[in-house]
Amino acid sequence: MSDTPKRVTILAKSFSEAAMEFHRSKMAAKGYRMEGRIEPHAFQIIDGLEPPKDLFDGDAYFAVTFIKKED
């Protein structure tokens, strides 16, 4: 199994920051393509049987996921 993750998700405070990350991190050269759209998300975490709790003080972040291209 490779140490390279099949999916990488980047969180950013703005659409522009998320969109530029593909180029800044040279994701294409690393064998990744963008999956889906860049959209704002609210993030929550579940710990055991407790109700979900907001992450990042409930602020929405733009999320973009890169997926490793099949060889």
Q: What is the dihedral of CA 35, 36, 39, 43, to 10 degrees?
A: -60
> Could you list the pLDDT tens digit for every one of the 71 residues in the chain?
456 789 999 999 999 999 898 899 999 899 999 998 999 999 999 999 999 999 999 999 999 999 998 76
DSSP letter for each residue of 33-47: EEEEEEEEE--EE--
Q: Is 1 helix (H, G, I), strand (E, B) or coil?
A: coil
pLDDT for res 71? 61
The model carries a pTM of: 0.78
